[in-house]
Amino acid sequence: MRTLVPFGARDPKTRLDAVLDADERRAFAEAMLEDVLGVLTDHDPVVLANAPVDVDAPVTVDERPLTEAVNAELAIESPTAVVMADLPLLDSDAVAELFAPDADLVVAPGLGGGTNALVVRDPEFRVDYHGVSVRDHRQSARASDTSLATVDSFRLAMDIDEPSDLVEVLLHADGAAADWLRAHGGRATTADGRVQFNREDPG
């Protein structure tokens, strides 16, 4: 099955700007993309980017917003999977969980109401990433009697947007994104009983 990997190539991961500058955010976003593509090799990954990006996978450039770009691809080919590019905890077991259910729509919720991955076997289904997308995608499936399965995976749920999310990369990932963070001084430290992301001079 073809798997779309949407990638925001223009000024990516702006909510990380308290800890990473623009060039670092771009490099880190590309490291996460590399990790995701690495665990999707058996699932025909195609990067769907809003600007050219140099990666070891086919790239489709579509400048439209995420929802419109994904829906244009869903209209062309079915079945199709969609896996976000900012899931550096993803491993082959979690990918297998995503593709295992024999349902017309398989949803992997993201932290905070997002939809981090979908397997779309219903050719009529369309995405809407605005708002509480996981709720909307489930409601859309129920409204059209599309069979629905939900995947319970922390590795699929954990998209990286905020500085505090970087702690999860350091603790649970072992690919390019984790290597990049460690090489750039990323450390998980504790203060007041809570774990925080900090940067040290890598020396």
Comparing CB distances to a second copy, the nearer of 60 and 154 is 154
* Least distance between a second copy and beta carbon 169 (Å): 12
Comparing CB distances to a second copy, the nearer of 75 and 171 is 171
User: Residue 145 has which token pair?
Assistant: 């009697």
* Least distance between a second copy and beta carbon 160 (Å): 13
CA–CA distance from 128 to each of 47, 89, 92, 177, 201 (Å)? 19, 24, 27, 28, 41
CA-CA distance, 94 to 106, in Å (whole number)? 13
Using CB under 8 A as the criterion, which residues of the chain lie in contact with a second copy when the complex forms? 91, 93-94, 97, 109, 111-114, 130-132, 134-135, 152-157, 164, 167-168, 171-172, 188, 190, 193-195
Report yes or no: 39 and 92 within 8 Å, Cβ to Cβ: yes
Comparing CB distances to a second copy, the nearer of 135 and 142 is 135
Comparing CB distances to a second copy, the nearer of 75 and 195 is 195
CA-nearest of 110, 87, 133 to 125 is: 133
* Least distance between a second copy and beta carbon 171 (Å): 6
Instruction: Report phi then psi at 114, rounded to 5.
Output: -80, 175
Comparing CB distances to a second copy, the nearer of 59 and 111 is 111
* Least distance between a second copy and beta carbon 77 (Å): 28
Cα–Cα–Cα angle for 52, 39, 18, rounded to 5 degrees: 60
E strands present in the chain: 2-7, 45-49, 59-61, 80-83, 105-109, 115-120, 148-150, 186-191, 194-199
* Least distance between a second copy and beta carbon 58 (Å): 28
